[in-house]
Amino acid sequence: MTPVGLHYTLSHFDVPDLDENSYRLTIGQREISLAELKAMPSKTQRVTLECAGNGRAGFAPRYPSMPWTHGGVGTAQWTGVALKDVLGKVPEAIKEIAFFGADRGFDSGVEHHFGRSLGVADAMRDEVLLAWAMNGRPLAPQHGAPLRLVVPGWFGMASVKWLTRIELLEQSFDGYQQVVGYRYTKRRGEPGTPVRHAKVKSLMAPPGMPDWYTGRRLVSQGSIELEGRAWSGAGVAVARVELAVDGKWRAAELEAPAERFAWQRWRASWDALRGEHELACRASDAAGAVQPLEPDWNVGGMGNNAVQRVQVSVR
Ligand SMILES: Nc1nc2c(c(=O)[nH]1)N[C@H]1C(S)=C(S)[C@@H](COP(=O)(O)O)O[C@H]1N2
Ligand SMILES: [Mo]
């Protein structure tokens, strides 16, 4: 679990100041208060959330957006009501469900509320929540207070914060963040493919102490217990994690997930010998996806799940 103060946060515009007492969620013609939502049967789920831009700093050239290295991921306990219980039966003609935040701003000259959509089947899944609490406390302003969507298994952009409006659409949603913002494209302006589920990834807690500018780790020689986390998207489990020391891969020990949408712990021991070394970790998921050794570049700097490499000086 990631404490709230250590969980990454990504907001495209300003954090809106919403009062939970006067707050209303608008669904078509319907308005619902927070108290009404909280009176419904609620559930709590442990979910790993990763920004689609996590790893963007590993791309060259890099899109001038959030330059994440590896910090854009965290795991929290989200409490709320299942979206499908709030929506009830969705008419046959409905194709997509769009979610809008209270935040508003510009991107590439286009003014809009942050908005994203899901196909009806994706939106009606049991695990999709309208959440008002994170790690047992009311949502913090930066995490979407007083109510947000949580879409487990998808990259973070799907989990719309400061959720104030839901629309049932008979056609595809054409909002900026859907058709322009979150796409994998090789050239600016081309439609590319939509960014959807998270991809298989592993990270290690770097051993020893860091050197401030280079990030190189300083470690004392001897046996070192390495540990990290691994996860994938769409509720697919991680099947295997490997550790490489100076390019030689071997299996790490992998724990089962605490819950279907939460990351898994892995461990490996390393007999650190004096000198300069490179550590790397690589996960494979149950659907057969494997982390690539090199980043697969795209314009927006999305979905970089290349293996993490850590440079270590052993003294
Ligand atoms: N309304 C709104 N929802 C949003 C965003 C936003 O800017 N506005 N950012 C999205 C992105 S890109 C991510 S990665 C997650 C981040 O959620 P967090 O800040 O709670 O970690 O929220 C998503 N939901
Ligand atoms: Mo994100």
Q: What is the pLDDT of residues 271-291, one digit of tens each?
A: 999 999 999 999 999 999 999
Helices (runs of H) and strands (runs of E) counted in the chain? 4, 22
Structural domain of residue 273, as residue ranges?
201-314
Residue 11 within a domain: no
Residue 203's pLDDT band (boundaries 50, 70, 90)? very high
Q: What is the whole-number distance in angstroms between the Cα of residue 66 and the centre of ligand 2?
A: 9
Residue 13 within a domain: no
Full DSSP string of 26-76: EETTEEEEHHHHHTS--EEEEEEEE-TTTTGGGSSS--SS---SS-SEEEE
Residue 302 within a domain: yes
Instruction: Assess whether the previous peptide bond of 295 is cis (omega < 30° from 0).
Output: no
Phi, psi of 156, rounded to the nearest 5 degrees? -55, -30
Task: Give 286-315 pLDDT, tens digit per residue.
Answer: 999 999 999 999 999 999 999 999 999 999
Q: Does residue 160's CB lie within 6 angstroms of at least one atom of ligand 1? A: yes
> What's residue 189's pLDDT?
86
Q: Does residue 100's CB lie within 6 angstroms of at least one atom of ligand 1? A: no
Same domain, 171 and 220: no
Q: Does residue 51's CB lie within 6 angstroms of at least one atom of ligand 1? A: yes
Total number of domains constituting the chain: 2
What is the mean predicted confidence (pLDDT) over 55-76? 96
Same domain, 175 and 71: yes
Same domain, 35 and 165: yes
- Listed residues 154, 178, 194: the one ending a domain: 194
Residue 71's pLDDT band (boundaries 50, 70, 90)? very high
Same domain, 164 and 251: no
Q: What is the whole-number distance in angstroms between the Cα of residue 133 and the centre of ligand 1?
A: 15
Q: For residue 56, give the nearest of 281, 227, 306 by alpha carbon.
A: 306
Same domain, 103 and 233: no
What is the mean predicted confidence (pLDDT) over 104-117? 97
Same domain, 235 and 284: yes
Q: Does residue 156's CB lie within 6 angstroms of at least one atom of ligand 1? A: yes
Same domain, 99 and 244: no
Contact 188, 108 (CB under 8 A): no
**3-class SS of residue 296:** coil
Same domain, 37 and 159: yes
Same domain, 143 and 171: yes
Q: What is the whole-number distance in angstroms between the Cα of residue 21 and the centre of ligand 1?
A: 23
pTM of the complete model: 0.98
Instruction: Assess whether the previous peptide bond of 146 is cis (omega < 30° from 0).
Output: yes
Same domain, 129 and 273: no
Same domain, 293 and 212: yes
Same domain, 99 and 77: yes
Residue 7 within a domain: no
Residue 107 within a domain: yes
Task: Give 8-53 pLDDT, tens digit per residue.
Answer: 999 999 999 999 999 999 999 999 999 999 999 999 999 999 999 9
Q: What is the whole-number distance in angstroms between the Cα of residue 10 and the centre of ligand 2?
A: 6
The alpha carbon torsion through 20, 26, 31, 37 (nearest 10 deg) reads -50
Residue 18 within a domain: no
Task: Give 158-184 pLDDT, tens digit per residue.
Answer: 999 999 999 999 999 999 999 999 999
> What's residue 237's pLDDT?
98
- Listed residues 155, 174, 194: the one ending a domain: 194
Q: What is the CATH number of the domain that holds 152?
A: 3.90.420.10
- The two tokens of residue 192 are 């590319």
Average pLDDT over the chain, rounded to an integer = 97
The residue whose CB lies within 8 Å of the most ligand 1 atoms, and thus the one to mutate among 9, 11, 134, 150, is 11
Residue 110 within a domain: yes
Q: What is the CATH number of the domain that holds 219?
A: 2.60.40.650
- The two tokens of residue 267 are 């461990």
- Listed residues 138, 165, 194: the one ending a domain: 194
